[in-house]
Amino acid sequence: MRSRLLAALVTAEICVGFVAIPGAAEVKLTAASFQPESVVFAKHFFQWVRETNNRCAGKLTIEVLEPEAIEPQRQWYALQIGEVDMYFGPANYYRGALPQGDVFNLAQNDPAAQRRNSAWSILNALHNEKLNARYLTALIAGVEFFLYTTEPAIDGRFDGLRLRSVPLYENFLRSLGAQTQTVSAELLRTELERGTLDGYIWPLWGLDVFGWDQFTKYRYGPGFLNTAAPVLVNLDKWQSLADDQRDCMSDMAIWLEAKWSEWRAAEDAAQLAVLEPAGIEYVDLGTDFARWAEELLWAQLEQAEPEFVQQIRPLLTSGD
């Protein structure tokens, strides 16, 4: 009897050990995207998801929930509490929980360089601690902002112009003499059409999505800041995955980083092809224009997080 019991216990231990071996059954992950696939800022995320599902078949599959399922401003919190397994969207959506996330908009190198020089490790540790999240990589990296207006600036100044603003570049607009106003992207077209706003800051991409190109006359550059948006995984979910599942996701993040410059260049060209027929005149205000926008945001972040800025800034402004 005792020998049979011992044999049963040994068998049970072997079975438990076998279940824990890497190579578990395929896992389904749910991901929240801040924009639907039809919007240019999200389409490459959906493209990456399809590629990941193909290359990680048998290990994991990702199903994307579009913004109708979870309100975009709440998606990061849904990730934090495990309501969804993944999140793709701007870090400024969760700046209340992780104010250091503004550095995504200040990076002058790409995610591949950040992975090599340890910036990735620092950003990942912050997301682990503050958001209960694993930082995989960032999309839309290197897509710069521009200042767009319906009226011309005078000698590079925007005194008296009423411009849409968000906290990320509020100080910059005020320093240029603009009057700032907080308006949702969805309502901006109406404000431009009525003439109650004279302009806005936005990336190179997507003016035609909301119809703003119909009212915009000037695009001021050179481009400044960075539109990069992180791809995150709930940390508890990440730790529950088998080794080969985590490895496949990490490999796909690195694959995306290698592919991204090609995707971005193609999209840049497509977006410029939209702006030119719209008759939007490009005005170059010189390198100090872009540098000033970045220095103001660095100063704002350094005031709140001086040690962090001292550590991370050199890593985000170098090739390696």
* Structure confidence at residue 57 (pLDDT): 97
Segment 271-297 shows an average pLDDT of 94
Mean pLDDT for the chain overall? 91
Domain boundaries, the chain: 24-142+227-268, 145-226+277-316
pLDDT at 6 over 80: no
pLDDT for position 276? 83
Q: Structure pTM?
A: 0.90
How many percent of the chain have pLDDT more than 70? 92
Contact 238, 300 (CB under 8 A): no
In CATH, what number does 145-226+277-316 get? 3.40.190.170
pLDDT at 13 over 70: no
For position 20, what pLDDT does the model report? 39
Contact (Cβ atoms closer than 8 angstroms) between residue 91 and residue 102: yes
pLDDT at residue 66 in the model? 84
Q: Do domains 24-142+227-268 and 145-226+277-316 have the same CATH topology?
A: yes
Q: Which residues contact 61 (CB under 8 A, 6 or more apart)?
A: 26, 27, 28, 29, 53
Does pLDDT of 318 surpass 80?
no
The arithmetic mean of pLDDT across residues 116-132, rounded, is 97
Give 32-88 pLDDT, tens digit per residue.
Answer: 999 999 999 999 999 999 999 999 999 999 999 989 999 999 999 999 999 999 999
Between CA 242 and CA 176 the distance in angstroms is 52
- Provide, rounded to the nearest whole percent, the portion of the chain with pLDDT above 90: 88
* Predicted local confidence at residue 64, as pLDDT: 98
- The answer to whether residue 131 scores a pLDDT higher than 90 is yes
Instruction: Identify the architecture of domain 24-142+227-268 in CATH.
Output: 3-Layer(aba) Sandwich (3.40)
